[in-house]
Structure 1
Amino acid sequence: MGVIGIELSILHSTLEVSLPVFAMVFLGALLKRLGWIDQTFVNTASSLVFKATMPTLLFLSILQSEPGSALNLGLVLWYLTISAALFGLIWLWALWRCPRQERGVYVQGAFRGNCGIVGLALAANMYGDLGLSLGGIMAGGIIIVNLVLSAIVLSVYSPVVSSRPLDIVRDVVTNPLIIGIVSALPLAWLDIQLPGWLLTSGNYFASLSLPLALICIGGSLNLTAARESSALALSASLWKVIVMPVTGVAAAIALGYRGAELGILMLFLASPTAAVAYVMARGAGGNERLAASIIMLSTLISLLTISAGVLVLKSLALI
């Protein structure tokens, strides 16, 4: 009974991490189904989150973190390195198993995680301020890597787009999430404090980010695309939510990562495919239906795989 009690306790704490996040996603899908929100609302709210509330959240989470708590550059560099390495591995797989015209969309869907919303929400729910501050820096770094790698692979197989380095640099420099993170770093380093009233107002505004973003993800889910999904969509989804986290976490354990660092790394690597992958695929003239299928399937599957990952790592006392 003692062992069973421990396992049930671990399962309960695991579900407490994942269920609140995914409950908000499915709430968004329900609200869309009931007609209480529509695509116009989703588009407007998503733009607000991306351009304003999420950058504010990242800015304040870094600014209010304990000195040095979020500056684990070793973990951030490892996360970016393993993500780039897995991108290369997925591309090699696509050369062997994927039709040429689908390779760009497939590779992007298989490696580009929704770290800025789902990963960050999970990290914040599990580790609080540390999850937000460290996760915010990791999200900022991976946004840059994702933009560059996605632009490259989509342009290689796109009939309409050519990848120009200046365009990629412009997208990175003007990305609101990057601006929010970068602008907070010198203030945090110098330990500059903002006025109390400004912090309070900022926190009110920033608190809209995660619930609103998760509802928008739910409102964007396309069940028709999931029903029409192909073997390619399932394959890319399994790469994203199973192969990437298992490979990256196993390597991190071998390097000695434990505790919150390992937990946050797992949550980020296991995040489902980012919704922006659909926008980029469509803009590059790729198979947008395949992109939508990957986003939908990976989101549904990740509900189980993220919970399983947290459960296994907790059972092994690694996090």
Structure 2
Amino acid sequence: MLSLISQTLGVTAPVFVMLFLGAQLKRVGWIDVAFINTASNLVFKGTLPALLFLALLRTDLGTAVQPKLIGYFVVATLVSFFIAWAWAMVRCPREDRGVYVQGAFRGNNGIVGLALATSLYGDYGLSLGGVLAGVVIICYNVLSAVILALYSPSAKSDPWSILKSILGNPLIIGVVAALPFAYWHIPLPAWLLTSGNYFAQMSLPLALICIGATLSWSSLRESGALAMSSSLMKMLWLPLLLTVGAWWCGFRDAQLGILFLYFASPTAAASFVMAKAVGANHQLAAAIVAITTLLGVLSINIGLFILQWAGWI
């Protein structure tokens, strides 16, 4: 149990450090609102698409592909999306529904989920988790673009406008552009990959600093009830439902463990970046990222302990 806690903290603690750093930099005046807007725009349009492109480039789509597991994961993602959406229509004011839904279903699988899967299951966790990460990147970004377009105050919600927002989303463009390179193993020059890595590695630090700079006690108080509701759905109710569903479908051992880690990962920092890009309630998005990351230290370890105790993994 102590080993699991240590592994989880090793992944989540740096996230909190960057959130705290962003809050302190804003407090001492080293960064301001103009920096936050510019940096968030850079992450959304440049560094994060590059990160997703390179992540998919390193994923071997021709191996470690398990259709049944991938199919369940896609169905589970859709189920979690529609459950969160249905609850948001009851729970949220209209203008916050997109952010609430995105926070409740979109996990940080590319960072937290993949890191924990690799830590627990070695190369098998890395290969299977990498394939799942490639699938989920597409699902998450398409569904997030749809829900944010429907409820963003500054976005049009007719079908053509939603389709354009999906096709023009830089994150989706980065994913689609990487698919032929990953599938056919098209090599890129080493200097280009190195330069791309330098650029892409700015994504998480910049996004987290902007989130930390946006957080304040007043914004947390204002969005507290909604943020906590979305966070509990993300970290408790949906992982419980989807993991039991995976067990019922016959998944066991490492397969079930990796599915649980992906279902139970905290909300991705990209949710803040996308919310800010479309003019949605980015303070609510920031609060959800912070709360789910904090809850993850406890909920992920308790979930793994219960699964091991039950003999399921």
TM-score, normalised to structure 2, is 0.79
Deviating more after overlay: 273-282 vs 209-218: 273-282
Q: What SS is found at the alignment partner of 1:113?
A: helix
Distance 1:169 1:122 in 2: 30
Q: What SS is found at the alignment partner of 1:120?
A: helix
Q: Displacement, 1:169?
A: 0.8
Q: Displacement, 1:170?
A: 0.7
Structure 2 residue corresponding to 1:258, chosen from 247, 256, 259: 256
Structure 1 residue corresponding to 2:136, chosen from 122, 135, 138: 138
Structure 2 residue corresponding to 1:57, chosen from 38, 51, 54: 51
Opposite residue 60 of structure 2, the aligned amino acid is E
Q: What SS is found at the alignment partner of 2:59?
A: coil
Q: 1:189 to 1:93 in 2, by over 3 A?
A: closer
Instruction: Give structure 2 stretches of 5+ with no counterpart.
Output: 119-125
Per-residue CA deviations over 1:118-174 (Å, capped at 9, x if unaligned) read: 44332354356655664244122211012223434x28xx7x975211111111111
Q: Displacement, 1:84?
A: 3.3
Per-residue CA deviations over 1:172-219 (Å, capped at 9, x if unaligned) read: 111111111111111111111111111111112111112222212212
Distance 1:274 1:37 in 2: 21
Contact 1:17 1:125 in 2 (8 A): yes
Q: What SS is found at the alignment partner of 2:271?
A: coil
Q: 1:17 to 1:73 in 2, by over 3 A?
A: farther
Contact 2:23 2:212 in 1 (8 A): yes
Aligned residues: 296
The residue that corresponds to 2:123 in the other structure is none
Structure 1 residue corresponding to 2:29, chosen from 35, 60, 82: 35
Structure 2 residue corresponding to 1:217, chosen from 187, 191, 211: 211
Q: 1:163 to 1:279 in 2, by over 3 A?
A: same
Distance 1:274 1:167 in 2: 20
Distance 1:262 1:68 in 2: 24
Contact 2:98 2:148 in 1 (8 A): yes
Q: Displacement, 1:36?
A: 1.4
Structure 2 residue corresponding to 1:192, chosen from 186, 194, 198: 186
Structure 1 residue corresponding to 2:290, chosen from 300, 304, 314: 300
Structure 2 residue corresponding to 1:267, chosen from 265, 268, 273: 265
Q: Displacement, 1:79?
A: 3.9
Q: Percent identity?
A: 36
Contact 2:212 2:286 in 1 (8 A): no
**Which residues of 2 match residues 73-88 of structure 1 at below 5 A?**
74-75=68-69, 77-88=71-82
Q: Displacement, 1:52?
A: 1.2
Q: Displacement, 1:262?
A: 3.4
Q: What SS is found at the alignment partner of 2:103?
A: coil
Whether 2:220 is the aligned partner of 1:226: answer yes
Q: What SS is found at the alignment partner of 1:65?
A: coil
Q: Displacement, 1:250?
A: 2.9
Q: 1:62 to 1:73 in 2, by over 3 A?
A: farther
Per-residue CA deviations over 1:48-67 (Å, capped at 9, x if unaligned) read: 11111111111112212335
Distance 1:236 1:117 in 2: 12
The residue that corresponds to 1:3 in the other structure is none
The residue that corresponds to 2:100 in the other structure is 110
Whether 2:311 is the aligned partner of 1:310: answer no
Instruction: Give structure 1 stretches of 5+ with no counterpart.
Output: 1-6, 283-287
Distance 1:122 1:312 in 2: 16
The residue that corresponds to 1:10 in the other structure is 4
Distance 2:159 2:223 in 1: 33
Name the Cα RMSD after superposition. 3.2
Q: 1:176 to 1:313 in 2, by over 3 A?
A: same
Distance 2:188 2:68 in 1: 29
Contact 1:61 1:133 in 2 (8 A): no
TM-score, normalised to structure 1, is 0.78
Distance 2:235 2:29 in 1: 30
Q: 1:161 to 1:15 in 2, by over 3 A?
A: closer
The residue that corresponds to 1:285 in the other structure is none
The residue that corresponds to 2:113 in the other structure is 123
Whether 2:42 is the aligned partner of 1:45: answer no
Per-residue CA deviations over 1:222-281 (Å, capped at 9, x if unaligned) read: 33121234644543443344323332333233331424343233216x558932446657
Q: What SS is found at the alignment partner of 2:243?
A: helix
